[in-house]
Structure 1
C-alpha cells in the first residue's frame, strides 16, 4: 500500500504565482497574444508582465515575436510529452471499466481514434454468455456507432452534451452501445467510454436506466485524466410537489 503523505503546510511564492498566472493565461486557439490582452486576462500591469516574460523566455517557455506579441514556445511541447508519457491510462481506466461491468452486467470498453478507425484500447467483458466478442487492439470503422460518434465530438459540443450517445445495429445488427467522449488537459480528446451489449438486452430503455451511472463514471474519468468536468444532467428526478392545504376563510 502506498503511504499518502500530507501536503506541506506552506504557502506559495508570490513571484512564482504571478509567473504561473501569466503562463496559464494562454488559451486554446491562441496563436500569439498581445501584451494588452495578457494584462486584461491576468489583472497584472504591463511592466510586470514584461519582466515575467523575460524569465519565461529564458527558460524556453515563451517566445517574443518581432511585433511584440507572445506565444508559447517549444519547452511547453516537451513538458506535454513528459506529462503524456507519465500518464498511466490503464491505471485510471481499467478499474473503472471493471466497476461499470459489475454494476451493469454489460461490456465496458475504452476506445481511441486510430487513423480512419476506432481501436479498442481496454475492455472488460460482460459475465453473460451472450456478448460481443472483441479484444483490446481490435479495430472498428468510424461509422454511426455511439463510440465512433463520441470520438468525433469536439469539446465545444461535448460541453453542452447532457445525454450519452446511443446506437443500435450500426456496426453489428445485433449489437447496441452507449458512449461519452473523455477529455483530458487542454480540452484534448483522449478517447471514448463505451458500454455495449446485445441489442435484445441493452435496449434504449435499459440504456437510459444506466445514464446516471454511466455519466458519473465519465465525469470521474475526465477528472482523473486532468480534464474539466463537463456539466452533465444526471437525470435526477425532480422533487415531488406537495399540495398546499387550503385554509378556510374566516
Structure 2
C-alpha cells in the first residue's frame, strides 16, 4: 500500500509537467498575447487548470498576464532560446577544428565539458586508423587523472586558479583512465575569457606515445587558441 501511495504523487507530478509543457507549446509564431479562451481551445485544458499553471509560469518568468486576462511569453524563454542557439554556434565552431585536428595528427579529436563529477564528450571526430578508441559524443566518463579531466578540473575550480595559470598546456597522460589509452588536452575559452571546455586528442598508447604527443602538442595548442579566438576570447595561454 505504501508503494502505491508513493507512486501517486510522482504520477501526478508527471501529469502536471505534461500539462505545463502543453500550455507553453500552445503559443504559435506571430502570437502577441493569447486569450484564456483561446489557450483552452488550443490545449484542451479547462480554464481553471490553465490559470493555476500560469501562476507558476509567471513566477519563473515564462509567462506574463496582461490586464485583459490574456497571456504572453516572457523573457526566460528568450534566455533558454539563446542558450539553445549558442550550443549550435559552438558546434559550428568546434566540429571543423576537430576535423582539422584529425587530418593533421591522425588521432581522434574531441571536445569535453564538465558535468559535476563526470566529463561529457560533447563533440568527437574519430581517427581514420583502424586501431582507435571507441568513445562517442554524449558519453560520460569519470573525472579521473586523465589529461582531459585535469584540464576540466583546473578551470572549473576557484581553488585551482593559481595552479591553472602556472600550468603549461597541452597536458598529456598515458593509461590514466584506460591502460590502453593516451590523451592530450588544452583549454578553450569564449567571450569574456570564460572557460568553455577542453579540446583533446586521444589514441592507443602503442601509437600515441609521449614522443608522438610532443609532435602533436603544438598543433593541438594552436587550434585551441584559434578556437578560443573564434569564440570571442582574447586570453593568451
> If the length of structure 1 is used for normalisation, what is the TM-score?
0.57
Distance, in Å, in 2 between the alignment partners of 1:78 and 1:122 is 26
Tell me the equivalent position of 2:192: 186
**1:141 corresponds to which residue?**
142
2:209 is aligned with 1:203: yes
Q: 1:215 aligns with which of 198, 218, 221?
A: 221
**2:127 aligns to what?**
126
Alpha-carbon distance change, 122 to 197 in structure 1, aligned in 2, over 3 angstroms: same
Residue matched to 1:105 = 106
> Residues 78 and 161 of structure 1: is their aligned pair in 2 closer, same or farther, counting only changes over 3 Å?
farther
Q: Cα deviation per residue 1:98-132 (whole Å; 9 max; x = unaligned)?
A: 01001100000000111210010000000111100
C-alpha deviation, 1:78, in angstroms: 10
Question: In 1, distance between residues paired with 2:154 and 2:112?
Answer: 13
Which piece of structure 1 moves more, 155-164 or 133-142?
155-164
User: Structure 2, unaligned stretches of length 5 or more?
Assistant: 1-74, 156-160
Deviation at 1:142, TM superposition (A): 0.1
Gaps of 5+ in 1: 1-74, 232-250
Residue-by-residue CA offset, 1:122-167 (whole Å, 9 max, x unaligned): 0000011110011100111000011100101236544444331101
Tell me the CA shift for residue 187 of structure 1: 3.0
Please list the CA deviations of residues 59-108 of structure 1 after superposition, one character each: whole Å capped at 9, or x if unmatched: xxxxxxxxxxxxxxxx9x99986764443111000000001001100000
- How many angstroms apart in 2 are the aligned matches of 1:221 and 1:81? 24
In the TM superposition, what are the counterparts of 1:33-52 in structure 2 within 5 Å?
none
Number of residue pairs aligned between Structure 1 and Structure 2: 156
